[in-house]
Structure 1
Amino acid sequence: MKQLAYLLLIVSIITTSCKTQPNSHKPNPSGNAGVMIIVMNDAVKKTEAGKKLWDIMVQPMIGLPQEEPMFDVSVIPHRSLSDFMKTYRNIVVVEVGQEVQKEGIFFHKGTWAKQQALVRIYAKDAASMKQLVDDNELKLVGFFTKAERERLSHYFKTTFNKDLKDKVANTFGVSMNIPRDFSLRKEEADFIWMSQETNSSSLGLMIYEIDYVGEGSFSKEYLLNQRDKTMMKKVPGPSEGSYMTTEHQFPINYQVIKTPTDTNTVMLRGLWKVQGDMMGGPFIAWHIITSNEIR
Structure 2
Amino acid sequence: MRHFKYLLIAIVVLMVGCKDKQTGYKPNVGGKAGEMLVVMDDKIRTSPGGEELQALLTETYLGLPQEEPHFKMSVAPHRSFANFLRTIRNIVMVTVKPDVKEEAVKFYHDRWARPQAVVSITAKDTASLKQLVEANQLKILSFFNKAERERFIGEYKKFASDELMKLADSTFHVHMSIPNSLSNKRSTKSFIWMNEAADWGFQGMFLYEVPYVGEGTFSKEYLLNKRDSILHKNVPGPSKGSFMTTEHLYPVIYKKTEINGNEVVEMRGLWKVQNDMMGGPFVLQAHYDKKSNRVVITDGFVYSPEKPDKRDKIRQMEALMYTLTFK
Scaled by the length of structure 1, what TM-score is found?
A: 0.90
Kept in 2, the 8 Å contact 1:214–1:294? The answer is: no
The Cα of 1:200 is off from its aligned counterpart by: 2.0
Distance of 2:199 and 2:40 partners within structure 1:
41
Please list, as runs of the form range in 1=range in 2, the aligned pairs for 1:225-236 lying within 5 A after superposition. Answer: 225-236=225-236
How big is each residue's C-alpha offset from its partner over 1:153-185, in whole Å with a ceiling of 9 and x where there is no partner?
111111121111111111111111222111111
The answer on whether the counterparts of 2:157 and 2:179 sit within 8 Å (CA) in structure 1 is no
Detail structure 1 runs of 4+ shifted over 3 Å in the superposition. Answer: none
Residue 298 (structure 2) pairs with residue 265 (structure 1): no
Query: Could you tell me whether the CA contact under 8 Å between 1:26 and 1:112 is conserved in 2?
Result: yes
Name the CA distance, whole Å, in 2 between partners of 1:85 and 1:192: 42
State the distance in 2 between where 1:199 and 1:241 align.
Answer: 26
Q: Which amino acid aligns with 1:62?
A: L
In structure 2, relative to structure 1, the CA distance for the partners of 1:24 and 1:242 (3 Å cut) is farther
Aligned partner letter, 1:275: Q
Q: Which residue of 2 aligns with 1:20?
A: none
Measure how far apart 1:259 and its partner are: 3.7
- Say whether the 8 Å CA contact 1:216–1:222 is kept in structure 2: yes
Q: How does 1:3-42 map to 2 (within 5 A)?
A: 24-42=24-42
Q: Provide the secondary structure at the position in 2 that maps to 1:27.
A: coil
Match of 1:161 in 2: 161
1:97·1:125 contact (CA, 8 Å) conserved in 2? Answer: yes
Deviation at 1:292, TM superposition (A): 2.7
Q: Does 1:182 align with 2:175?
A: no
How far residue 293 of structure 1 moved from its aligned partner, in angstroms, is 5.4
The aligned residue for residue 73 of structure 2 is 73
Match of 1:93 in 2: 93
1:223 alignment partner in structure 2: 223
* Matched residue, 2:277: 278
Say how many residue pairs are matched. 273
| 1:24 Cα deviation from its structure 2 partner | 4.5
Tell me: higher relative CO, structure 1 or 2? Use CA pairs within 8 A at least 6 residues apart: 1
Say whether residues 1:290 and 2:283 are aligned partners: no
Structure 1: 5+ residue stretches without partners: 1-22
Aligned to 1:210: 210
Code of the residue aligned with 1:49 in structure 2: it is G
- The Cα RMSD (Å) is 1.4
Q: CA separation in 1, counterparts of 2:232 and 2:292?
A: 30
Alpha-carbon separation, structure 2, partners of 1:240 and 1:204? 22
Which secondary structure does the structure 1 equivalent of 2:155 belong to? helix
Provide Cα deviations, 1:224-264, integer angstroms capped at 9, x if missing partner: 010000010110000000000000111110010124611x2
Deviation by residue 1:83-131 (Cα, 9 ceiling, x = unmatched): 1101111000000011211101000001101111000000000000000
Q: Which residue of 1 aligns with 2:249?
A: 249
Which structure has the larger Rg over C-alpha atoms?
Answer: 2
Corresponding residue for 2:82?
Answer: 82
Q: Indicate conservation of the 8 Å contact 2:34/2:70, yes or no.
A: yes
Q: Distance in 2 between matches of 1:187 and 1:180?
A: 16
1:264-285: per-residue Cα shift (whole Å, max 9, x none)?
Answer: 2100100000000000000001
Give the counterpart letter for 2:282 in structure 1.
Answer: F
Contact 2:211/2:293, CA 8 A, preserved across alignment: no
SS of the residue aligned with 1:118? Answer: strand
Distance of 1:53 and 1:209 partners within structure 2:
41
Deviates more, 1:196-205 or 1:54-63: 196-205
In the alignment, residue 157 of structure 1 is paired with which amino acid? K
Q: Which residue of 2 aligns with 1:151?
A: 151
Give 3-state SS (helix, strand or coil) of 1:68's partner: coil
Equivalent-residue separation in structure 2 for 1:237 and 1:24 (angstroms) = 53
Inter-partner Cα distance in structure 2 for 1:154 and 1:26: 17
Contact 1:237 1:243 in 2 (8 A): yes
Contact 1:63 1:270 in 2 (8 A): yes
Shift of 1:204: 1.6
Aligned to 1:4: none
